Structure 1
């Protein structure tokens, strides 16, 4: 494999992460098994061969294989992981490296889902998020790859599940990170279900209602040791400026009404551009005039940015034991 100081630093990074004890090392799967795993992860057809042909091997590519093993051991701890993107010098082998990590970790992750008693349809819907992020990478960059490795850790550790339209993550409220709580909502450090919104369809109120109802039952059935009284959400979709720019009955506006806002409101223009227009994160100064204006949301976002305004992240909470609307 090609070497440079950047490549050497990247190869060494996984070994600095906390490692779980007693985790068996993965083996390179046979081709039919690898394809089956990638189908469960919903990796798009156009990316399958790229993933398979660049899969590390302990004999042919020992250095990436060792880095992969270190990632595997860190994946099944509770500690945060710091997995940087692979240097561009590595080409598709680097761009797909973290798909390889999750591909090899899938059997152990599925075993943990079975221990929790998670239904197969929920498991499949949850893990398909990896394939969605591979597809998003291609839309953003025009080539195959994957750069949401720290996000997908939640799915494989079993702390996040997709329940219908929405995803719910078992976590605790970090009030300081939100700029401080307000009102009579969840306390700092209290267990909450954090709501995430996949970008694959309209946020119809009936679908969101069903997801919230499913989340209440799901948490009580599969994780009864921890009571979850509140759901939280941290998203640009809770920016109150959207309500002034969209119709009152718009799905986003109705979703906002479920939550009581608190904390700070940091600027998050990059998040909005990425979610709505697939602009690669960190892209400096995209040409706003070249972005589509096909929907009311797109027009509202672009009009504010072109006028010198900004979009802001909102923090919100809602009780789980009542209708969230």
Structure 2
């Protein structure tokens, strides 16, 4: 990889001239240092051979102590694989617009780094890695990853009425509010047993919360609609754009067509999403016709966990827990600030939208 290669692939990445120049300066600095070139080789091995989620702390520290300019080292680790991206898109005959739209995320995370750290650079290798491994595609407003279902529950539907019953996986732990528990907050544990005739459980999941309730679902009456071996389309929501629910609906429809056209070996049972945007607390904070609540209403909630730190990161672009330092420039920031100030917790939730077979 050389400077000309980076400039060439920017035809697809569309990084603005200011940040592109900083990336090239960082690349030059690496090429002029035997130590940094060695760290780059180690980093590429960690990410693409060892398949680590992120660079080791040692590599990060070594790079930070030697780089003089803006730190775009993690992005340069990824850029070397862009030829593989182009080859994948060509092999599967994927539209160029999907490629360009998908990799706009690079720009969003460069912007996010600046917002959080108030300096130029890039660090989100863990997330952007999946773009360079061709595991995520942006189709319209939303991004999608095809994968095995990760929801910690099974979804059953009544054969006649269509009633949905959600049963957590056996031994799932819950806190006193009915959310997924950490080891220190466990108050209740699901006990689920399956026989040839029925599924028995001491609880169900309703609106994202565990309800203590003994249930017995006769297999003659209920079908397993969504289980752990099913394939799903995992939904992610890029930031820095309005969350227009109509555009999101269009995106869901377009994505299903895209995956059924280009990756037709799989049967996709549902769209799933795990996000702070599905937090039920927004019903208290925001109006029913807010974009966030309208988006959340598309999903049937399954479960969630208390994780206020996610709201600091995505709403305020910070990891600093000091509430009085939080920016309050938007109505959303003000609403979340007031909620947290009143010592209330916020939950990251997951849910699904069923995909029914075409008739």
Please give the range of the TM-score, normalised by the shorter of the 2 chains: 0.7 to 0.9
Indicate yes or no: 2:239 matched with 1:211: no
How many residues are paired up? 290
**1:64 maps to which residue?**
36
Question: Does structure 1 conserve the Cα–Cα contact (< 8 Å) formed by 2:47 and 2:54?
Answer: no
Query: CA shift at 1:187, angstroms?
Result: 1.1
Q: Which of 258, 269, 274 is residue 308 of structure 2 equivalent to?
A: 269
The CA deviation at 1:38 is: 3.4
**2:330 is the counterpart of 1:294:** yes
Map of 2:53 onto structure 1: 81
The correspondence of residues 72-221 of structure 1 with structure 2, limited to 5 A, is 72-73=44-45, 75-76=47-48, 79-84=51-56, 86-87=60-61, 88-91=64-67, 95-176=71-152, 180=168, 182=205, 186-221=226-261
CA deviations over 1:45-82 (Å, ceiling 9, x no partner):
32222211121688633333344334445655694533
Tell me how large the CA RMSD over aligned residues is: 2.8
Per-residue deviation, 1:168: 0.5
Structure 2 gaps, min length 5: 155-166, 170-204, 207-223
- CA deviations over 1:105-159 (Å, ceiling 9, x no partner): 1122111122122100010010111121011101111111111101011111111
* Aligned with 2:21 (options 18, 41, 49): 49
Would you tell me which structure has more strand in proportion to its own residues?
2
Which residue of 295, 301, 305 maps to 1:255? 295
| Alignment match, 1:311 | 346
Please tell me whether Structure 1 or Structure 2 has the larger radius of gyration of its CA atoms.
2
SS of 2:121's partner is coil
Distance 2:119 2:295 in 1: 34
The equivalent residue for 1:285 is 322
TM-score, with normalisation over the residues of structure 1?
A: 0.80
Instruction: List gaps (5 residues or longer) in structure 1.
Output: 1-27
Q: 2:148, 2:231 within 8 Å by CA — same for their partners in 1? A: yes
TM-score (norm: length of structure 2): 0.73
In the alignment, the residues of structure 1 paired with residue 239 and residue 34 of structure 2 have an alpha-carbon distance, to the nearest angstrom, of 37
Task: Using CA pairs under 8 Å that are at least 6 residues apart, name the structure with larger relative contact order, 1 or 2.
Answer: 1
Distance 2:258 2:152 in 1: 28
Contact 2:231 2:267 in 1 (8 A): yes
Give the structure with the higher percent helix: 1
Give per-residue Cα distances to partners, 1:167-204, cap 9 Å, x unaligned. Answer: 00111123449994658652113211110001121111
